[in-house]
Structure formats: structure tokens, C-alpha cells
Structure 1
Amino acid sequence: MFLALLPSFSLPAALPLIAAEWGMGPAQSGIVMAAFQAGYIVAALVALPLTDRFDTRYVIAGGSSLTAAGHLLFPILSTDPVTGIILRAVAGAGLGCIYMPGIRLVSEVTVTMRGRAVGGYVFSYLMGTAASFALTGMLLGFFEWRTAYLFVALAGTLAFPLALFVICHPVFKRGVSANPFVTLSPSRKRFHRESVRLHLPVMLLIGAYMVHMWELYGLRSWMSPFLADALGQTGMAAVSLAATLTAFSVVLSGVSALVAGWLSDRMGRVATASVIMAVSAACSLTFGWLFNAPLWSLLLVGLVLSLTVASDSPVFSAGITEMSDPRILGRVMAWQTFLGYGAATVSPAVMGYIMERSADEALGWGLAFSSLGLVALTGPLFLMRLRRLPESRRLCGGRG
């Protein structure tokens, strides 16, 4: 997961340089960035249902080769927004065959400490994101953006041989997800009745996950350009510094994801995610308005936002695997991916549109980040509704 993610955020890290070369405004830049999520969604909608019928490991191996190809070709062949959109969509499609199928694989081989196990997997995802920003930012200090992107993409190709190792290793041999709160029905009629009964709580969890993804990917896509502007510097040095700071923020979110997964195994999924989402929403509502504020206040709010915005990822992913019938888990995760990454696809484009329509730069940043916070505030509402349902006891061994 870490290696596959290495080139994924090289585009946001180098966005000011690419936008200047291709003559893109904020709205068009947001669309190019959103293409990655769009490709992810399309591929995941195909790949995840396949994991109900075929070995998940082979899906992951295929995705590793596809995302490597998309990233390698981007700095070589992309010359304008259209070619950029196509190649980023291919790279995103490959990741769509890796990330959520990987969560399923981890869930199938871990039961008693699922929150911590999924938290560790999400940690590798976030460390890959951080390394993508950091490595790209470092290389931009020495090379033009195409060379920097290509070097990072070459490092990412190492994910494919590791995927082959996973295929061969007996630890990852597919087993049945053992959730004592979701029993397997002997009859098709009873199976459908249980699926209908689980529909509302699962959709409430997915609704909260959508909100989480809207905020997370809006922040991930625009944080580096925002910091480059807010620091008041110009040129390659500003882009490199902003990418490095963004990488540091992702490292913090990776550590907090590990802690959140551990806490949710003890305090319950709903309580843990509700607190995290409320804090991150408050920070998003504030962050953009600090564009011209003292640097210490910008960094302080950014620190808290970094610690919270991604830390509920393992909580939602573990919760959905617990709430769903194992026989249709792939299809449930396909819906989770479609709706969650659908929100992630729209969010960066909406932020770009808001900034382009704003009267000045500071106002645009404030309104754009506030849009993330307003959406994020609805997340705890989904979870409060879920908490009142008896099915919430299926989560975390009865803790909810």
C-alpha cells in the first residue's frame, strides 16, 4: 500500500507548476485532480464485487500493475489537461483495485483486533501519502516537475513484486470473515431479510464515510497550494516547502489513525468517530480564514486538523466490515467506495469553483475550506442516528 501510494499525490504537490505550464485556473486544476478519484471509483465498482467470488489477492496484484503504468506515463505523455485527466484516471483505477480490497483482506485475517489491524493498514496508506508529498517536494528542489514525478513513479513500481509476494504467502490465504454478530443464513429468503434489516445502519455508516471523504480529499488536494500562497513565497521554493509541510501533516494523521483504531476497539466505533469528526469540522471551518493570520495560528489549527481529518478512516472501514454480511461484503464495500470516493471526486472541484468565483484570494480560501467544515458537521448526525438503532451493537463486539 505504501509503495503504490508514492506517486499518487505528486500532482497536488507540484500543482502550481503544472497549472502554470498548462494554463489552468483553480476550477480546471480541481477537475484534473478529481480524475484520480473518478478512476478509482469506476475500478472499485468492478473490483470489489469480484472479491465476493474470487481471491482478493489477485485483484490487488492487477491493481498494482495498473496504477504503476498510469503514474509512469503521466510525466512522459501528459501535455495538457485532457491527457492529464486520462492518465491520472488510469492511475486512480489501479489504486481502486488495491485499497478497499486490501481492507477486506486485512479484515478476513484479523477478527479480535480488527480496529487496530485496519488502523495499521490505513497508517501505511497515509504514510504513502505523506511520502508522496515529501519525496516530490524534495525532488522539486532539484529537478523540474516531470523528472521529479518520474522518479517517484519509478519507486512506486516496487509495489507490484510485493503484491506477488502477498499472493504466495500463506498468511493471506482467504478465509471467512468471522463476525459473531452477523450470522450466515441457511436459506436465501432469510438471507435477503437480514440484508434488508442491515440496510439502514450500513447506509448511515456509509453516509458518515462520505462526509469524511469529502473533507479529507478536499484538504489533501488543496492544502499544499494553500500553504504555498499563505507563506507568501513564490516559485519552486514555495511549492517545495508547502509540499514538505503537507507531508508532515499526513504523517501526523497516520499516527492518529493508528491511535483512533486502537481507541475504537475500546470505546466503540460510533463514539470515537463522532468526537473526531466534530473536531475536524471545527478546524476546517477555521483553517482557510487564517490565510493572512499569524503563522503560529495557521500552523496550530493545521496541526489539529491534520491529527483528526483522516484518523477516523480505520473506524469506518472496520465498522462496515462488522456490520455487513460476509457473503456480500464486496458489494457493500463497492457502494461504500462509489459514494465515498464520489464525494472525494466532487469536493476538490467544488473548492476550485468557489475560489475561482470569489472576489479575492483570501476570501476564496476561507469560503473553500469552510465548505469542507459545513459538510463535515453532518457526519456526527449520521452517527447519532446509528447509535439509536439496536443494530449498532453489531459494532466492535457490542460496544457500538
Structure 2
Amino acid sequence: MKRRQFGAAALISFFCSALVLNLLGFMTLAAVLPALISEWGLTSTEAGWLGGIYFAGYVVAVPILTALTDRIDPKRIYLGSALLAGVSSIGFAVAADGFWAALLLRFLAGAGLGGTYMPGLKALTDNLQKSAQSRGVTYYTGVFALGTAFSFLIGGEVAEQFGWRWTFATAGAGCFVGALIIIWVLPSRIPRDGTISIVTSFRAVLQNQSAMSYMISYFGYAWEVFAFRVWVVAFLFFSQMHNALGPEVLNATVWATIFALAGVAANMAFGELAIAFDRRRVLIFVSVISVLAGVSIGLLSDSTYGAVVSVCFVFAMLTSGRNAPTNAGLVNAVPEHLRGTAMAVHATIGYAGGIVGPLAAGIALDVAGGIENPRGWTAAFLAISAGAVISALALYCLNRRRD
């Protein structure tokens, strides 16, 4: 069969579309978390586990599957993982009836993302000319926030109309459609003979100080952004109730969608700034401002709803916007033959923050008074903001070269 040929813009667009579809289940749990807390009688710590376990599945799968893209066809890895993610989401819709079943199914769904997101990025960059790779990374990782936005929107709107189980069924269907796009656009690749052992590859990546600075910075990014996304709907529900607001205000899941969409624009803007200027300094500056915004949300937790939403909007842009330039920095910091291994380590270290962040916020909530207490939310946002502190320190202390 004749191989299909696509220009850089078309190929990036197809991969971005598949990514958005595979991310429909990414934050559906956060969108329906208040309902699950009520229906299943969850504590804030248990809810934090449900928010973070998805990233545990991701962290377990991604180092193996992404590293293997240097040695076997990424298309096979992508399609098998998309199938796992789709089946897990549909399984959640059908079988989840409490904390433990939900925990297992979200873990498996996260493992499915582990075989689609970074392996998809590796497959995309392998099929782009070097001149297009930085922008390919920027747009592919930047559109992650768009997938997050749709997962919030679908999670909220479908749940409101048909119940929360249908949100997960819809997300599962999205994974299958995304897989069909990849079947069509991504050529199969004959595995190359590996001349460097996996151990040697990992050692070379871990000894690359510039790459490690971006990996640890990514840990802080994931801590902050995923903790915010897991808890923002519950936080906005609290603020609405605290201010005695009725149905005339926008639904909390709609605001969460708007925040995620703002992250798309921020990713593109910060990505272009990082290309034009010193990437490291841009990321440090944005991280510091993000800390200030996150602390401000905590201090304003019992303030007016308008003030809370406004600062959350700014915070969402500052957190999400660091994704694309951080990933691009990692890609540029390693040689091509180590890129798959580097992405595996990057995603593993980074998304470990996605496990810790939501859980840390949940524990802070429980310790400081719970989800109905303003002091609880102050503590939660202080815990969330710690992620940006880690990001800034990693880039400042470990990477002094101009990038």
C-alpha cells in the first residue's frame, strides 16, 4: 500500500485531534467529583486518591512504553494503549460502584494515557523535519489543555443531562475514535536495531543535567496543574455555596472548561516566548508569578465569587502555560537517539507530581477543616502552589545555561 504523505501542519493537526479525543476521560472525574463524594461518602483524602491514581497508572506505564518507542513501532504501542484507556473508561461507566473499583479503573485509564501521550509525541517528532519539531512539540503539548477543557465540559454537561456514568462512556468512545485517526495517519515503522542498551540510555539521560532540570520542573508543573484541575470544581462549588449564589451563575464545570481553554492560549504564547527568548528564564519567571497567584487564591477563599474566579483564571494560564515550553526544553536538551528514553524519564518524574499534588491538596483540606471550611481551601492552595516553587528552583539551581 502506498504510504500517505502529510505536510507538517496537517500531521500536527491530526495528532492534536487524536490527543484531544484520548483526553476526554482525563478530567471527567474532577467534573463529577462532588457527586461521587456525596454518592459514595468519600473523604477528601479518598477523593484526592481518586484524582491522583490516574497519574499513578500513567507513571507506571510511561517509562516502559515510551522508552520502547526507540526500539519498536510507536504505532503498536499507541493503539494498544488507546484501547486500554477506552475499555477502562467504559468499565468505569458500567462497573464503578465505590472507592476501590473506581481506584482500579482510573489506574488502568491512566496507564492507557501513558502509552498514547508521550509515545504520540515521539511518533510525531520522528515524522517531522527538524525545523518543524519545536513547534510540533509546542502545539501538541499545548493542545493538552484543550483536551482537558473538553473533558471538563463533557464531564459536566453529559452528567447533568444523563448522569455521571455516561460521561465515562463518552470518554471511552473518544479513545477509540482517536485510535482510528492514528491508524490512518501514522505509518508503521520497522524497528531499528538498538545499538545502545536500555540501561546505558537511561544512564545517559539521568547524567544530562540540563534535561534533569526540565524533568524536575515538570514534576512541579504536574503537581500544581493537576491538583488544581482535580479540585477546582469542588472549590468553585464551595465558593458558590459560601456566597449563597443560585443557578444564575455559570456552572462550575463551565468555569473549569474556560480555565482549561485559557491554558491552550497560554501554552501557545509562552511557547513562542520561549522560542524567541531564553526558555529557562521565561519558565522561572512564570513559575514565580504562579506561586503568587496560587497563594492569592488561598487567601481569597472566603472572598466574593467574582474575585475567586478572576484569580483562578490567571492561575490557570500560569500553570497550564508552562507545559509546552518545558517539554520543548527537554526535547532540545537530548540527542535524537535518546529522545524516547528521555521522554520516558521526563514523563515518569513529571507525572509523579500528578499523583502527589491532588493527594497533598486533599490531605491539607482534611487537616485544615474540610471542603466546607475556608481555612481548608487556604491550606489546599498553599499545598498546590508548592509545585511552582519546585519548578522554579529546579531550573534555577540545575540549569544555568542559556536555552
Quickly say closer, same or farther: Cα 1:149–1:111, change in 2 above 3 A.
Answer: same
Counterpart position of 1:228: 237
Supply the distance in 1 between the matched residues of 2:250 and 2:173 (Cα, whole angstroms). 20
Supply the distance in 1 between the matched residues of 2:396 and 2:110 (Cα, whole angstroms). 33
Paired amino acid for 2:75: R
Paired amino acid for 2:224: E
Paired amino acid for 1:380: A
* 1:55-70 mapped onto 2 (5 Å cutoff): 55-70=73-88
* 1:56-95 mapped onto 2 (5 Å cutoff): 56-95=74-113
* 1:179-190 mapped onto 2 (5 Å cutoff): none
Paired amino acid for 1:128: G
With 293-302 and 220-229 compared, the bigger mean Cα shift is at 293-302
How far did residue 236 of structure 1 move?
12
Q: Is the 8 A contact 2:205 2:334 kept in 1?
A: no
* 1:233-244 mapped onto 2 (5 Å cutoff): 241-244=251-254
Counterpart position of 1:179: none
Counterpart position of 2:155: 136
Paired amino acid for 1:377: V
Supply the distance in 2 between the matched residues of 1:230 and 1:195 (Cα, whole angstroms). 48
Quickly say closer, same or farther: Cα 1:60–1:166, change in 2 above 3 A.
Answer: farther
How far did residue 346 of structure 1 move?
1.3
Q: Is the 8 A contact 2:364 2:376 kept in 1?
A: yes
Q: Unpaired segments of 5 or more residues in structure 1?
A: 177-185, 394-399
Supply the distance in 2 between the matched residues of 1:78 and 1:126 (Cα, whole angstroms). 27
Identity %: 23
Quickly say closer, same or farther: Cα 1:280–1:79, change in 2 above 3 A.
Answer: same
Q: Unpaired segments of 5 or more residues in structure 2?
A: 1-18
Q: Is the 8 A contact 1:118 1:261 kept in 2?
A: no
* 1:192-207 mapped onto 2 (5 Å cutoff): 195=204, 198-207=207-216
* 1:385-396 mapped onto 2 (5 Å cutoff): 385-388=397-400, 392=401
How far did residue 375 of structure 1 move?
3.5
With 281-290 and 128-137 compared, the bigger mean Cα shift is at 281-290
Match of 1:380 among 374, 380, 392: 392
Match of 1:150 among 169, 174, 186: 169
Supply the distance in 2 between the matched residues of 1:344 and 1:274 (Cα, whole angstroms). 20
Supply the distance in 2 between the matched residues of 1:276 and 1:200 (Cα, whole angstroms). 21
Q: What is the DSSP-based 3-state SS (H/G/I as helix, E as strand, rest coil) of the residue aligned with 2:72? A: coil
Counterpart position of 1:164: 183
CA offset digits 1:347-373 (Å, max 9, x no partner): 111111111111361111001111122
Q: Is the 8 A contact 1:35 1:88 kept in 2?
A: yes
CA offset digits 1:180-236 (Å, max 9, x no partner): xxxxxx999xx98x9389522221221111111111111111111111111118999
1:26 corresponds to 2:38: no
1:218 corresponds to 2:230: no
With 280-289 and 83-92 compared, the bigger mean Cα shift is at 280-289
Quickly say closer, same or farther: Cα 1:107–1:272, change in 2 above 3 A.
Answer: farther
How far did residue 125 of structure 1 move?
1.6
Supply the distance in 1 between the matched residues of 2:88 and 2:196 (Cα, whole angstroms). 44
Supply the distance in 1 between the matched residues of 2:54 and 2:113 (Cα, whole angstroms). 9
1:270 corresponds to 2:280: yes
Backbone CA RMSD of aligned residues = 2.8
Q: What is the TM-score of this pair, normalised by structure 2?
A: 0.86
Counterpart position of 1:397: none
* Count of equivalent residues: 377
1:100 corresponds to 2:118: yes
Match of 1:4 among 6, 13, 22: 22
Match of 1:328 among 322, 325, 338: 338
Q: What is the TM-score of this pair, normalised by structure 1?
A: 0.87
Q: What is the DSSP-based 3-state SS (H/G/I as helix, E as strand, rest coil) of the residue aligned with 2:186? A: helix
Paired amino acid for 1:38: A
Quickly say closer, same or farther: Cα 1:387–1:203, change in 2 above 3 A.
Answer: closer
